[in-house]
Structure 1
Amino acid sequence: MEALTNFIGTVNGIVWGWPMLILILGVGFFMSIGLKLMPILKLGTGFKLLAGGTKAEKGEESEGEVPPYQALMTAMAATVGTGNIAGVATAVFLGGPGALFWMWMTALVGMATKYAEAVLAVKYREVDEEGNHVGGPMYYIKNGMGKNWAWLGTTFAIFGAIAGFGIGNGVQSNSIAQVIETNFSVSPLITGLIVMVLVGAVLMGGIKRIGSVAGALVPFMAVAYIIAGLIVLATNADQIGPAMSLILESAFTGHAAEGGFAGAAVWAAIRFGVARGVFSNEAGLGSAPIAHAAAQTKDPVRQGLVAMLGTFLDTILICTITGLVIVSSGLWTSGTSGAALTSAAFAQALPGIGNYLVAISLAIFAFTTIIGWSFYGERCVEFLLGVKAIKPYRILWILAIPVGATLSLDFVWLLADTLNAMMALPNLIAIVVLSPVVFQLTREFFDKQKKEAAQLAK
């Protein structure tokens, strides 16, 4: 195991070096400029579409399997997970408070990336032999970039099918097991078996049941966690200003060793901020468009506007609350990392209940992530081997849950981090190559809206 860990660690250092960070931020910045900052300026439009997107528009039921709202909730089920609790804490522990700033930057440009992914997913999706709409990077590479690029789509599908067991399964089940053991003294194996049974019950119903469960659980858990976080921040109100100053200062100067904090240079703040930001909101990873391809819509741009909200809600809202709670508490210098650090910060402000709130939130967050990512993995396997491979993959996915619950957390995080980068590369290449399609569809959509508004005004 040590030799394998060292090997993956070496690969991780390569794939998460400067080139990858520049590529992720660079593609997001390129798309943001090409879209004339539309994702940020039209954020309100996205929320309006989301509010009216709980049902498919008339005549669009046959264009997908789930309403636009449920497609977003399925994508958010996969993104709102341990990255929002343990991931933020790990970023601060390894990169200092400045890592939170770089998570914000990743999210702001990532909104444009996520928008482009969903637009391309709906534009180039297909209908499989069972009548389901399937899409994602492998399909927009194949159908948008041509046969000469088909190998790139296959590469993404291979990495996606394997990566799911890290980012979407092992990390999540392990985090649930650890936090439940710490707070409720339940064996990780027992927790893993219980989660396995619950996930299995949901997955047997396919995308429609996944969408229904995600549509109910994701808003509930997100709102509950946000309220708890705001209560903690209200308790630490006098420390929020200094915490913000520390975050901004550390983002550009790094932070010296202090207490149990080993110190971190600016490079560490950027590296861990971007890596954990991508792990949390998955912008550029290519996973979310797989869910958005199943939305009941005929317009790629409409779904793109809904999709970009996932990055905003996940990182700008939920991760920010976690980060501010940690930094304002002062416990980020204690030497504690991961979910334990977030639990300690909440418990400091809410003695006796704070740690339990975090434990329950993380367990629900991670549970929905396992469900959402199973769908991503299934679609990748279907692209490679056809629909006949879905059930065997689903069974393997369910059986892997208790295994992940008992593995070393450090190894699981390292594997997930590495596979994330391997997935992102083919997807980011495709987004750049197909960017003219995204820009054209966007112009046509908003030009049409302007004409319709002018006609109504007459």
Structure 2
Amino acid sequence: MESLLDFFNLIDGFLGSAAWFPYVLLGVGAFFTIYLKFPQIRFFKHAWLVVTGKLDKGDEPGDTTHFRALTTALSGTVGTGNISGVAFAIFLGGPAALFWMWATAFLGMTTKFVEVTLSHKYRVKTEDGTMAGGPMYYMDRRLNMKWLAVAFAIATVISSFGTGNLPQSNGIATSIESTFGFSPMLVGGVLAIILGLVILGGIQRIAAVTSKIVPLMAVVYIIGAFAVIFANVENIGPAFGAVISDAFTGSAAAGGFLGATLAYAFNRGVNRGLFSNEAGQGSAPIAHAAAKTKEPVSEGMVSILEPFIDTIIICTITGLVILSSGVWKEKHQNIFDRSDMMFIAGEYQESKNEDVQVLFKHLNKVDEDAITNFTGEIQVVNGVAVSDGFTLLNSRSFAEDVTYSVGSTEDPYTGRLLVEDGALVKQSIIVEGKSLVHSANLTAIAFTRGFFGEYGKYIVSIGLLLFAFSTAIAWSYYGDRAMTYLLGPRSVMPYRVIYCAGFFWAAISDTTLVWALSAVAIVVMTLPNLFGIMMLRKEMKESVNEYWEKVKK
């Protein structure tokens, strides 16, 4: 597993985490924003009219309504990214990361408008009578690049697991276990069965379920979030101020948070923004292709609302909960994941500014050679390390009150522990202590700092369950449309069976490995789509102009 994790991280280093990727993603969005004269602003009101059905013209080709197509697409984007992803971005980049999530969403509104319009324009009716669309169809039918269409469809199938399936299942299982104590195996098994019952019904059942889940989950989550925001209302102004000011300077060290450079916060904010709203990834066009309309541009306008709702509204609410409560810079008792731990050579202290600066440079990749990993033996007596010459970091922070146990946290370890290149060799050792936390655990802690107290964490668990499960439902549809393109309708059923099996497997697998896979899958899917819509930029402008001519008439 560690070798596989290293492999995914290596690939991600050349793709999503590479310095060039955020500029490509934002650059395409910025280009179309200027090229189409800010459609996310000019067409915003019209988009709401379309989605409410006020402009419908009776029976038109398609499988579902504008609203249900929107909720299906939203269910694919509103998931763990809104709960775990925002927390993870702030954990890595501080308040500044939220600003770059906003920037990604604003420009992404235009990107999604373009990709949905073009994909809807070249959709087809399949052998079983349902509509199928997505970037692979405009790549094939318009660009005559069959090879690119096939590559995108394969990437979509991979992403259906790496984005919509594995991280969602893992996030649900982790949250339910920490909150209610249920076994991840039990949670994964039950939800895999329910998932199968839903997705076997195809787009009609998927759209019907998501049109009910999406509004419900939004209401539940927002109520819990505002209970925290209002309880910490005096911190809202400073939180917003930190987001704006840090966006152009980076975030300084605060509490247990060791700081983040502007470049690091920018990269992590854009990366998490894409994972949250998927603008440019080419996933949402697959859902919108099922909408009943003859006007591709009108469906494109509906999609403008997705990044707005997903990131600018829901992610901002999550961000304010985390920032106003102050939990993002506090250390909390937790069991350390192996992937978050790092033993470094030398004894560093958080109270010494020079030590903090050395670690700041290392963690933000300013000077990765600033420290060296520890290799050697650690002497432990009754669960506490008594030897020196090393410092333990966990979740990018100094670990405190660390204990070592074996089998369970109630059985302290005594003996020698071998560390090689910064990692513990003995796998059965449980390491526990105080450090920063991230992802869903950080959001859950933040939700306890409001009017609901400790009960707030249950809202996060329920919200994460609904958010993530609906995402898995939507992504199963994206994957089966890609399989339909690649191998025909007969390939859909085997895909769905494997999809449900993967959902169960992810519930009991390593969190970090799942997130590493998702990071690679997202970029592999995004790059061909961005290339394709840039190739059709002139056609996009012509389509918009033609649409408004029809509207005027």
Q: If the length of structure 2 is used for normalisation, what is the TM-score?
A: 0.79
Residue in 2 that maps onto 1:456:
none
- Return the letter of the residue paired with 1:11: I
Pick from 425, 428, 447: which aligns with 1:346? 447
- Return the letter of the residue paired with 2:113: Y
SS of residue paired to 2:147? helix
For residues 391-412 of structure 1, give each alpha carbon's deviation from its aligned partner in whole angstroms, at most 9, with x where no partner exists.
0000100111110001111110
The question of 1:246 aligning with 2:246 is answered no
Structure of higher RCO (CA pairs closer than 8 Å, 6+ residues apart) = 1
The question of 1:419 aligning with 2:415 is answered no
The question of 1:81 aligning with 2:76 is answered no
For residues 83-123 of structure 1, give each alpha carbon's deviation from its aligned partner in whole angstroms, at most 9, with x where no partner exists.
00000000000111100000000000000011111101110
Pick from 350, 362, 387: which aligns with 2:489? 387
Pick from 314, 318, 322: which aligns with 1:318? 314
CA distance in 1, matches of 2:33, 2:176: 41
How far did 1:436 drift? 1.2
Residue in 1 that maps onto 2:425:
none
SS of residue paired to 2:280? coil
The question of 1:275 aligning with 2:271 is answered yes
Residue in 1 that maps onto 2:395:
none
Residue in 2 that maps onto 1:369:
471
Residue in 2 that maps onto 1:116:
114
How far did 1:50 drift? 1.4
CA distance in 2, matches of 1:184, 1:224: 18
SS of residue paired to 1:253? coil
Mapping of 1:230-241 within 5 angstroms?
Answer: 230-241=226-237
Residue in 2 that maps onto 1:3:
3
- Return the letter of the residue paired with 1:361: G
Larger strand proportion of the pair: 2
- Return the letter of the residue paired with 2:100: W
How far did 1:352 drift? 2.5
Cα pair distance change 1:444/1:45, threshold 3 Å: same
Residue in 2 that maps onto 1:97:
95
How far did 1:26 drift? 0.5
- Return the letter of the residue paired with 1:310: E
- Return the letter of the residue paired with 1:400: G
How far did 1:267 drift? 1.2
Contact 2:105–2:311 (8 Å) recurs in 1: yes
User: Structure 2 stretches of 5 or more lacking a match?
Assistant: 331-435
CA distance in 1, matches of 2:57, 2:511: 44
The question of 1:68 aligning with 2:169 is answered no
CA distance in 2, matches of 1:45, 1:402: 42
The question of 1:176 aligning with 2:172 is answered yes
Residue in 2 that maps onto 1:288:
284
How far did 1:229 drift? 1.7
Pick from 310, 324, 327: which aligns with 1:331? 327
Residue in 2 that maps onto 1:30:
31
- Return the letter of the residue paired with 1:77: S
- Return the letter of the residue paired with 1:196: A
How far did 1:224 drift? 2.2
CA distance in 1, matches of 2:42, 2:236: 27
For residues 9-43 of structure 1, give each alpha carbon's deviation from its aligned partner in whole angstroms, at most 9, with x where no partner exists.
01101102122111110011111111100222221
Residue in 1 that maps onto 2:51:
50
SS of residue paired to 2:512? helix
CA distance in 2, matches of 1:85, 1:321: 10
CA distance in 2, matches of 1:89, 1:345: 10
How far did 1:144 drift? 1.6
The question of 1:187 aligning with 2:183 is answered yes
For residues 340-359 of structure 1, give each alpha carbon's deviation from its aligned partner in whole angstroms, at most 9, with x where no partner exists.
11111110113022111111
Contact 2:220–2:459 (8 Å) recurs in 1: no
For residues 256-285 of structure 1, give each alpha carbon's deviation from its aligned partner in whole angstroms, at most 9, with x where no partner exists.
232221321111111111111000100000
Contact 2:139–2:146 (8 Å) recurs in 1: yes
- Return the letter of the residue paired with 2:305: L
Residue in 2 that maps onto 1:403:
505
CA distance in 1, matches of 2:36, 2:162: 33
- Return the letter of the residue paired with 1:98: A
- Return the letter of the residue paired with 2:13: G
For residues 144-167 of structure 1, give each alpha carbon's deviation from its aligned partner in whole angstroms, at most 9, with x where no partner exists.
212xx2111111111110121111
How far did 1:78 drift? 0.7
Structure of larger gyration radius:
2
CA distance in 2, matches of 1:301, 1:331: 43
How far did 1:307 drift? 1.1
Residue in 2 that maps onto 1:455:
none
The question of 1:439 aligning with 2:435 is answered no
For residues 171-209 of structure 1, give each alpha carbon's deviation from its aligned partner in whole angstroms, at most 9, with x where no partner exists.
000000000000000000000001101111101111000
Contact 2:228–2:325 (8 Å) recurs in 1: no
Residue in 2 that maps onto 1:13:
13
Contact 2:50–2:56 (8 Å) recurs in 1: no
How far did 1:321 drift? 0.2
Contact 2:192–2:504 (8 Å) recurs in 1: yes
Contact 1:178–1:188 (8 Å) recurs in 2: yes
SS of residue paired to 2:82? helix
CA distance in 2, matches of 1:196, 1:123: 34
- Return the letter of the residue paired with 2:169: S
Larger mean Cα displacement after TM superposition, 83-92 or 439-448: 439-448
- Return the letter of the residue paired with 2:229: L
- Return the letter of the residue paired with 1:144: R
How far did 1:387 drift? 0.9
Residue in 1 that maps onto 2:217:
221
How far did 1:56 drift? 6.0
Moved over 6 A (4+): none
CA distance in 2, matches of 1:255, 1:331: 16
Mapping of 1:128-147 within 5 angstroms?
Answer: 128-146=126-144
Contact 1:56–1:68 (8 Å) recurs in 2: no
Contact 1:56–1:67 (8 Å) recurs in 2: no
Larger helix proportion of the pair: 1
CA distance in 2, matches of 1:255, 1:89: 15
How far did 1:443 drift? 1.2
Work out the number of aligned pairs and report it: 446
Contact 2:231–2:449 (8 Å) recurs in 1: no
CA distance in 2, matches of 1:189, 1:118: 37
CA distance in 1, matches of 2:32, 2:76: 23
Contact 2:157–2:482 (8 Å) recurs in 1: yes
CA distance in 2, matches of 1:381, 1:261: 44
Residue in 2 that maps onto 1:357:
459
Q: CA RMSD in A?
A: 1.2
Q: If the length of structure 1 is used for normalisation, what is the TM-score?
A: 0.95
SS of residue paired to 2:501? helix
CA distance in 2, matches of 1:388, 1:57: 34
CA distance in 1, matches of 2:46, 2:233: 32
CA distance in 1, matches of 2:30, 2:223: 32
For residues 50-75 of structure 1, give each alpha carbon's deviation from its aligned partner in whole angstroms, at most 9, with x where no partner exists.
1226x964131xx1111111111111
